[in-house]
Structure 1
Amino acid sequence: MTASSFPGGTSLSHLDVYGDQAPDGICGGSPHMHLVSTEAYVVVSGEGALQTIDATGFRETALAAGDVVWFTPGTIHRAVNRGDLRVVVLMSNAGLPEAGDAVMTFPSEVVADGAAYADAAALGGEDGRAERAARRRDLAVAGFEVLRDAVLTGDRAPLDAFHVAAGALVRGRAAAWADLVRERPLAQAERSLALAEAVASGSVAHLAHARVHEAAASTGERGFGMCGRLRTYDVTDREDA
């Protein structure tokens, strides 16, 4: 992975939350969770909500411009759009979510079958991607409703079963995740520790290497993410910066 001095070893994207309706009449994205990474929303415009399922049960957090909310690994989340909701997304462990850290809340029989999950999650080629994104969102909402309704009655069994199935689903690719963490967030933390120790010892030589870096935004149409249309940013350090 190319080195990045972007704060915290995080990744950055701009999200326009889907505005079309799921079968339950709610506009928004595909419910899912991350197994290792923490995610943060910085709301830049519009209004909506974040629906979550975690160890404490189901919760809905209102979102409006200026709000900041973040959620730790294992938090099932669904972005709800109630009017032009746009969010800057910060993800810990840059590169790890793209390596398969997320699992959508498809019905249990789909999450338990790797081939069925891959087929349901796939967006395929450029033609028809919007329709396929909507279909996978609707399937994830169906599974989300089962989990939500269960925890609202005090029944954690379906949620616990989803956690186990999600872990089994990604286990094969998780072996490479530790290297991703070492190469960016851990390496950056170790670099900061070394600089702090250098200053404490009287050395400020590193200040001579200060630079400004500018992120390169993805071009063309925004991609289809789980929660909405995404503009991603390349936050790697460039030699010409």
Structure 2
Amino acid sequence: MGRMTHASTFPGGTAVSWLDVYDTESIDGLRGGTPHLHLVSPECYVVVAGRGRLQTLIAAGVAETPLAPGTVAWFTPGTVHRAVNDGELRVLVLMANSGLPEAGDAVMTFPPEHLVDAATYRAAAQLPDRETEAERQADADRRRDLAVQGFLDLRSAMERGAAAPLERLYAAAARIVQPLVPGWEPIWNEVVGEQAERTRATLPALANGDWSSLLASAVFEADANPGERRFGMCGRLSTYRLGA
């Protein structure tokens, strides 16, 4: 049995970030983040402080999940979700498929005229490079409010029993990310796929009494990425370097 060595990414090929949900007021009087959906990556909220709600839209209907310290809530791709901050809401976010959300696996719920194609969407989604934090927050709020407008229209349609607007959003989201998808597969293979293949190889080896994989055991610690917290879709984000 030979010694095996390898680097490591975070368990499950997930990404981890701290999220302080925006506490600025949106166009409907609620405080919180930007409604959006992911096309391939499940997401999990582990609430560590504060209070809030997770508003969701899926083909089965409209729902709202209370968020309080200790709540663990997750949702699958295609779930339109909006984090509402009812008071100092702080969340540990776990994202599957580390690397894919950063590579474009998210589409915000802008009104249809902003979802025509990738270029139209990008013009509404990109935040300008501003000098002051107040300016950057104002830009994030404007983008959030545009997505809330689309979210409210979707929710109203679904409450009337109309599924077509959600289906049109899904079609638009797929159209927007389509040019990016070929670049996602190698990212996935390097993280999630590599971990899955390592486990696949280890199981039959252990069944045959081969414990050499244990010689490659190691301990890792993640450092926060440098710089100020980013203005993300749902709030201020602190991200971590999880690859080795």
TM-score of the alignment, normalized to the shorter chain, above 0.5: yes
Instruction: Note if 1:185 corresponds to 2:189.
Output: no
- Normalising to structure 1: TM-score of the pair? 0.95
Alignment of 1:81-96 (within 5 A): 81-96=85-100
Q: Secondary structure at the match of 2:88?
A: coil
Aligned to 1:135: 142
Give the superposition deviation at 1:126. Answer: 3.6
- Name the residue aligned to 1:102: 106
Whole-Å Cα distance in 2 between the matches of residues 182 and 207 of structure 1?
23
After superposition, where does 1:1-241 map in structure 2 within 5 Å?
4-127=8-131, 128-237=135-244
Question: SS at the partner of 1:25?
Answer: coil
> CA distance change for structure 1 residues 73 and 3 in 2, over 3 Å: closer, same or farther?
farther
User: What secondary structure, in the 3-state scheme, does the structure 1 residue paired with 2:161 have?
Assistant: coil
Q: Distance in 1 between matches of 2:185 and 2:227?
A: 32
Q: Distance in 1 between the 2:114 and 2:150 partners?
A: 10
Contact 2:59 2:166 in 1 (8 A): no
**Within 2, Cα distance between the matches of 1:25 and 1:77?**
17
Question: Unaligned stretches of 5+ in structure 2?
Answer: 1-5
What is the CA–CA distance in structure 2 between the aligned matches of 1:4 and 1:132, rounded to whole Å? Answer: 37
- Work out the number of aligned pairs and report it: 236
Output one character per residue of 1:195-221: Cα deviation in whole Å (capped at 9) or x when no partner. Answer: 222211111112222111001112332
Alpha-carbon distance in 2 for matches of 1:133, 1:186: 34
Cα shift at 1:108: 0.5
1:97-149 Cα shifts (integer Å, max 9, x gaps): 11111000000111114333212111121422211100000000000001000
Identity %: 54
Report the TM-score, using the length of structure 2 for normalisation: 0.93
Cα deviation per residue 1:147-199 (whole Å; 9 max; x = unaligned)? 00000110001111111111111111111112222221111011012122221
Distance 1:169 1:63, change over 3 A: same
SS in 2 for 1:79: strand
CA RMSD in angstroms comes to 1.3
Q: Greater CA deviation, 154-163 or 2-11?
A: 2-11
Whether the 8 Å contact between 1:49 and 1:62 is mirrored in structure 2 is yes
8 Å CA contact retained: 1:3, 1:184? no
